Structure 1
Amino acid sequence: MVINEKKIHFWNGNKSPTRRNYEKQLLSLCVQEAGITDADIIVDECDYPAAEDEGNIFSKGCDLLVSVAGNQKFSGKPTTIIEIPVCRGVLGHRLLVIPQKQAERFANINSVRQLQQMTIGIPATWADADLFRHNDFNVSEKGSLDDLFMRLLNQEFDYIALGANEIESIFAQFSGEKAGLLLEPTILIYYPLPLVFYIHSDRQDLVSIIESGLTTAIANGKHESLFEEHHPNLINRLALRTRTTFRLTNPYLPDPLKNFCPTL
């Protein structure tokens, strides 16, 4: 593998536009805070609908990416993980999209068993599918994020669960309210799901750069400022502290992050 140390190939696909924008700017911030001024960051936002293709992204010229810690698609791949959460754990705070006509049904849910007896819709290749199945949920894993809302309207499943950091923009992007869908206001499904950097094992130079830059940005407050820029007043606006919360387990976290608990 021929390495040009000034070039950084960042794969940023298979995720919502909200996450793409935040993670792209976060990478630039990390490089900047590490004192690197001449890096050429090449961003690849190609989506890979097959899990096998996504899992092989590091053999296609990718130097680094951001994904959930413990993503099984990258298990056994030539990577180094920087085990510092980059988005305060908000992705693991899942809020629901439901049909408006089902609002009363969901407002009366008071046990996780009621949600398990329904069916959740998840796009193909998303790491959440394995996690929900591990927690005994009925999962309909199929298609892409682009067709997820139409599948819900077609009654292929009962609800969608998206991260608090992206659900509003995705809902607006797909005109959820006009289509007869609702951002459910009372329920929160939580599981530890920190986002972290994965770096190709041949790019150990990037490990020190990203770890140093991220640590510095967290210490000097620039990471928090970037988070707030992309997720303004998120915790209060979506009432993350006061919803009825159903906690799930995540068996896929690496050991250093098994006790990860975000502070909201």
Structure 2
Amino acid sequence: MSSLKYMNAHYSSSNIRIGALVSSILFHLVVYQTCFATEKSLTYLPANTPWEALIVDVLHLAIEKSGQQHLYKYQQLQQLDQGDATSLLEEGLLDVIWLSASQPKRQESQIRPIRIPILKGLLGYQIFLIRGNDQGNYKDLQTLDEVRNIPLGQGRYWENTPILKQANLHVIDPIKYQSLFYMLEGGRFDLLPRAIHQPWDEINTWQHLNLAVEQELLLFYPFPVYFYVANKNPKLGEAIKRGLSNAIADGSFDRLFYSHPLIKEILSKANLKGRRVIRITNPELSPLTPLDHPSFWLHVGH
């Protein structure tokens, strides 16, 4: 081959290689810019309690399992003033919030629920505070009708108070939270239902009163907590729903939930499997509540 032909072939081969290299660089540059130029802030409520920290962990897992974690940059609102979280969501100051689903007509007309219970319905499991001397009084109690004969205490404006009243339970509902403990000790009512993470701290707070955690009964009603997004942000809602569904399917949701120190402590103290379950319905829920998806819910008792 003449030197001229050799040089032409050499330069042609070099040009091909350089062209391929440039094309590769441009391709990766486009991918990089696509990933990061479209990255959005995902702003959520402050996590001030262990419960809220767990919920934030669930949110991060959902975004990861959606396959879109590269699209979002997490941003926690530093503090929530007296403003309503729903309003902040609608105004775009928050991108996702979490609320119980106990007032669907008001909430769901304004914002979009992702109907997968993010705490597996755990807050619908209630155990009772009683007077310290009454521990043996309920060992033979078996049915809802028997519970209806026993006066219960509840805060007047609590979200779950209408649920108990609509189950025809005998509810005494003072306005002040503090009054409940003195009224229980004083015999104004006999049982004070509390979400399963609450009674031990309250026993410590009110240790000057003769109160105890009842050991045998468990009151249950469906009480989901959902993530909500603004109606104008359906893509985020779809991503969270897809991520939660994927996490439930591959087991990572349950691994996160049951390994969390808060959940392990609660389930250990409450001994849910050793309790007799009294079930009531929750008429406050939307008919779209996924009650027929067992994997979404905690299941205990017999």
TM-score greater than 0.5 by the shorter chain: yes
Alignment partner, residue 184 of structure 1: 214
Work out whether 1:67 is the aligned partner of 2:102.
no
Distance verdict in 2 for CA 1:169–1:43, change over 3 Å: farther
Q: 1:120–1:158: 8 Å Cα contact kept in structure 2?
A: yes
Alignment of 1:101-250 (within 5 A): 101-143=133-175, 148-150=180-182, 152-153=184-185, 155-164=187-196, 166-167=197-198, 170-171=201-202, 174-175=204-205, 179-228=209-258, 229=260, 230-232=262-264, 235=267, 238-250=270-282
**Deviation at 1:12?**
6.8
**Deviation at 1:140?**
3.4
Q: Distance in 1 between matches of 2:156 and 2:109?
A: 20
Q: Distance in 2 between matches of 1:196 and 1:240?
A: 23
Q: Distance in 2 between matches of 1:19 and 1:125?
A: 22
Q: Distance in 2 between matches of 1:20 and 1:108?
A: 37
The structure that has the greater radius of gyration is 2
Q: In structure 2, give the amino acid aligned to 1:128.
A: N
- Higher strand proportion (structure 1 or 2): 1
Alignment of 1:38-53 (within 5 A): 38-42=73-77, 44=79
Q: Distance in 2 between matches of 1:200 and 1:115?
A: 41
**Deviation at 1:24?**
2.9
Distance verdict in 2 for CA 1:216–1:46, change over 3 Å: farther
Q: In structure 1, give the amino acid aligned to 2:226.
A: V
- Among the aligned pairs, what percent are the same residue? 18
Distance verdict in 2 for CA 1:167–1:64, change over 3 Å: same
Name the stretch that deviates more: 214-223 or 97-106: 214-223
Q: Distance in 1 between matches of 2:65 and 2:137?
A: 49
Question: What TM-score results when the alignment is normalised by the length of structure 1?
Answer: 0.76
Which whole-Å deviations, capped at 9, do the CAs of 1:106-141 have from their partners, x for residues lacking one?
334333233323332333543211111110013234
Q: In structure 1, give the amino acid aligned to 2:57.
A: Q
Q: In structure 2, give the amino acid aligned to 1:227.
A: F
Q: Which of 85, 92, 102 is 2:117 aligned to?
A: 85
Q: In structure 2, give the amino acid aligned to 1:85.
A: P
Q: 1:121–1:152: 8 Å Cα contact kept in structure 2?
A: yes
Aligned residue pair count? 252
Q: In structure 2, give the amino acid aligned to 1:117.
A: N
Select the structure with the greater relative contact order (CA < 8 A; seq sep ≥ 6): 1
Q: In structure 1, give the amino acid aligned to 2:142.
A: N
5+ residue gaps, structure 2: 1-38
Q: In structure 2, give the amino acid aligned to 1:189.
A: L
Q: 2:90–2:230: 8 Å Cα contact kept in structure 1?
A: no
Q: 1:71–1:252: 8 Å Cα contact kept in structure 2?
A: yes
Alignment partner, residue 12 of structure 2: none
**Deviation at 1:43?**
5.9
Distance verdict in 2 for CA 1:72–1:205, change over 3 Å: closer
RMSD: 3.5
**Deviation at 1:211?**
1.5
Q: Distance in 2 between matches of 1:137 and 1:65?
A: 32
**Deviation at 1:226?**
2.4
